[in-house]
Each structure stands twice: as structure tokens, then as C-alpha cells.
């Protein structure tokens, strides 16, 4: 089952596209503005997003940048307005995987979507979108994680922290970057909240094993190293 988030503010077009996509077997949820799109994407429920760039309020480009900024690599097909090379370039620069230009033939949208989902499946060989690295396994749809087959029993926040570190394994993640991935911009966590969650995640991750996975780079941030 492939689940799509369709982001389009023109309601009639959104309806028509949703009907067409369901006809060929996708499960489709609609979002009609940028805020809804971000909330939907954050749920981790979707396999791909079809994203109109011209939205009221938070624009499609801003949605896309926010997703990529927090390390979310969900495949995104952007829908751009006619004859705007600039918009296409901006979309691709912001991290879109492909685009169609309005007005588009529905068959073309379907073909591009299929190609994008195929590429995404090829780069994530784990079944049902699970992430695997070393002896770690993460299930982004259920927010659960295992090390060497043992479930870690993480809180949602610990899970998000771990997933972010896994997706950026081997690269130091600054404290600011991690905080941005974990908390809404208007939330104000305690100043030591990140340390508290990292230390709790570490405890669960390293229980019963001798190898530490999360390393501290003093004054900079954290990184996850996986022994293959």
C-alpha cells in the first residue's frame, strides 16, 4: 500500500487529482495549505508527497525546505506554475525529486510519481520503509527501534533523535540542528533538554553492549557511528 500526501490549495483540482490517484490504487490524504502539509509530513505516514508550490501562507518551497532541513528525505514531486523555469529550478534546489508543470497531463504525473517511488524503494531496500544500519533497525511508521533484535522502547522524542542521527550517520550534528529536528520552532525546551534526551537514548541504545554508538563532540554536537 502506497500512501500519498497531496498538497494542493485549489480544491477542485485537489479533488480531481485525489480521485485519479485513488483510481490507480494509491491511498491519498489531502492537505490544502503549507501548515497542513508540514503537519502531515511530520506524521511519517507517507511514502511520497505531491506538492503544489504556490500555496497560501507557508509556500510549497518553504514546506520543502523545512522537510529537507530536518533531514526528511521523503520523495517529493512538485507541481509548478506554467512557464516558470525559475520556480522549477527553485524547487529542485530546495530538494524536490522531480516536477510537473501546470497544466499537466495526468498520465505524466502518474509516470513521474511511479519513477520517483521506484527510485526511493531502490535506495531503501528494507521492507516497508524500515531503516537499517549496522545492528540497528528503525521503523519510521511506528516510531520503534531495535538494536540486535532487541526493542529499545524509545519515547517519541528519543526515536526522532535516533532517526535523525541514523539518517546523518558518521556526520557530526550540531546542537542547533538537532534541536531544530526535535522541537517546533515556537517550543522552548529547557537548555539542557537535548543532553537529557541524548543521555537517555544512549542508555537504552547501549544497554548490554560494549560499543557506544553516539559520540559527543564537545562544544559542537553529536554523531552516531555504526560498526558495519
- Contacts to Ca ion by CB under 5 A: 9, 52, 54
Q: Which is nearer to Ca ion, 30 or 52 (CB)?
A: 52
Q: Find the shortest distance in angstroms from Cβ 54 to Ca ion.
A: 4
CA distance 146 to 153: 8
Residue nearest to Ca ion (CB): 54
**How far apart are CB 103 and Ca ion at their closest, in Å?**
13
Identify the DSSP state of 69: H
Q: Which is nearer to Ca ion, 12 or 187 (CB)?
A: 12
Q: How far is the CB of 53 from Ca ion (least distance, A)?
A: 8
**Contacts for 200 with CB less than 8 Å, ≥ 6 apart:** 155, 158
Q: Sheet with 98-101: list strands edge to edge.
A: 27-31, 3-7, 48-52, 76-80, 98-101
For residues 161 and 178, the answer to whether their CB atoms sit within 8 Å is yes
Contacts of 147 (CB under 8 A, 6+ apart): 135, 136, 137, 205, 209
Residue closer to Ca ion (CB basis): 54 or 112 = 54
Work out how close the CB of 59 gets to Ca ion at its nearest, in angstroms, rounded to a whole number.
Answer: 9
Of 9 and 47, nearer to Ca ion (C-beta) is: 9
Amino acid at each position: 500500500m502506497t500512501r500519498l500526501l497531496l498538497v494542493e490549495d485549489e480544491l477542485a483540482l485537489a479533488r480531481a487529482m485525489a480521485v485519479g490517484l485513488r483510481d490507480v490504487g494509491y491511498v491519498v490524504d489531502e492537505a490544502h495549505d503549507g501548515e497542513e502539509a508540514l503537519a502531515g509530513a511530520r506524521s511519517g505516514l507517507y511514502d511520497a508527497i505531491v506538492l503544489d508550490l504556490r500555496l497560501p501562507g507557508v509556500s510549497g518551497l518553504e514546506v520543502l525546505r523545512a522537510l529537507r532541513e530536518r533531514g526528511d528525505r521523503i520523495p517529493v514531486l512538485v507541481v509548478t506554475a506554467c512557464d516558470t523555469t525559475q520556480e522549477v529550478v527553485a524547487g529542485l534546489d530546495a530538494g524536490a525529486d522531480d516536477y510537473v508543470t501546470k497544466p499537466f497531463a495526468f498520465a505524466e504525473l502518474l509516470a513521474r510519481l511511479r519513477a520517483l517511488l521506484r527510485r526511493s524503494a531502490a535506495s531503501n531496500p528494507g521492507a516497508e520503509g524500515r531503516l537499517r544500519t549496522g545492528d540497528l533497525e528503525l521503523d519510521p511508521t511506528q516510531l520503534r527501534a531495535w538494536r540486535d533484535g532487541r526493542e529499545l522502547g524509545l519515547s517519541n522524542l528519543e526515536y526522532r533523535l535516533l532517526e535523525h542521527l541514523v539518517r546523518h550517520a558518521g556526520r557530526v550534528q550540531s546542537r542547533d540542528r538537532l534541536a531544530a529536528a526535535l522541537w517546533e520552532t515556537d517550543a522552548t525546551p529547557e537548555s539542557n533538554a537535548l543532553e537529557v534526551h541524548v543521555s537517555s537514548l544512549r542508555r537504552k541504545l547501549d544497554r548490554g553492549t560494549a560499543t557506544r554508538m553516539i559520540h559527543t563532540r564537545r562544544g559542537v554536537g553529536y554523531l552516531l557511528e555504526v560498526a558495519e
